[in-house]
Structure formats: C-alpha cells, structure tokens
Amino acid sequence: MVEKLSEEAVERGLAERSDWSRSGDAIQRTFSFGDFNGAIAFVDRVAARAEEVQHHPDILIRYSKVTLTLSTHDAGGLSEKDFAFAIDCDRLYTE
C-alpha cells in the first residue's frame, strides 16, 4: 500500500517542482504548446509513461494547453508516486 505524504513532505516536493501547485489533495500543472497537435503529442507521451508506471493522471486538454492533476487515490492524497510522475511529465515536456 502506498502511504500518504505528510504536509511537510508535500511542501518539500512542491518547493522542488516550482511549476506545480497544490489543488486540494492533488498537485497540478498546465503545460502550453504551439498548437493542438503539440498538446496531443504530449498527452500521448504522458499516457505511455502512465501505463509503464501504472499511475494515471487526470488530463484536461484545452486546444494548446494540457493540465495534469496528480493524486494517489489508494493513499487518500499525495504520495511519492505523484512527485515522481511530476518529474517524468516535466521531462516529457522538455523532450
């Protein structure tokens, strides 16, 4: 079972991922692209990685913007899995 992070651990994680913000029991970030095709290509990369690690974000697509929201339902909030996947998504965005 995955453990929910303490408030202190969440704050440390957010300090290391300055583009991400807290939204209740989740973290989220909006990524911007030049067009819809760029946004969808990113979503495809995120989906492939999510399947690899079996950790699936909520995804909102608005033309050239993609908002990812991460939370670990099994933990009842944020876990290390969320911050690890945020790192993966940040890497996929810069590739």
Per-residue pLDDT at 45: 98
Let me know if residue 52 belongs to a domain: yes
36's CB contacts (< 8 A; 6+ apart) are 63, 64
Let me know if residue 31 belongs to a domain: yes
Q: What is the CATH number of the domain that holds 23?
A: 3.30.1360.20
pTM of the model: 0.95
pLDDT at residue 1 greater than cutoff 80: no
Q: Answer whether 13's CB lies under 8 Å from 19's CB.
A: no
Predicted confidence band of residue 92 (pLDDT cuts 50, 70, 90): very high
Let me know if residue 53 belongs to a domain: yes
Let me know if residue 63 belongs to a domain: yes
Let me know if residue 1 belongs to a domain: no
How many domains, the chain? 1
Model confidence pLDDT, tens digit, residues 7-32? 999 999 999 999 999 999 999 999 99
Domain range for 32 is 7-94
Averaged confidence pLDDT in the chain: 96
Using DSSP, how many helices (H) and how many strands (E) does the chain show?
3, 4
